Amino acid sequence: MDLKMEYKHAKNIVNNHGWGYFLNCFQQIYPDRHFYGCSQSRYFVGSEYICKLKGKNGDLIVGWFK
Spatial CA neighbour of 43 closest among 16, 25, 64: 64
Query: Which structural domain range is residue 30 located in?
Result: 2-65
Question: What are the strands of the beta sheet with 60-65, ordered from one edge?
Answer: 2-6, 60-65, 51-55, 35-38
Query: pLDDT grade, residue 43 (50/70/90)?
Result: low
Mean pLDDT for 7-24 is 91
Per-residue pLDDT of 17-42, as tens digits, reads: 998 999 999 999 999 999 999 886 66
Number of domains in the chain: 1
pLDDT mean across residues, the chain: 87
pTM to 2 decimal places:
0.79
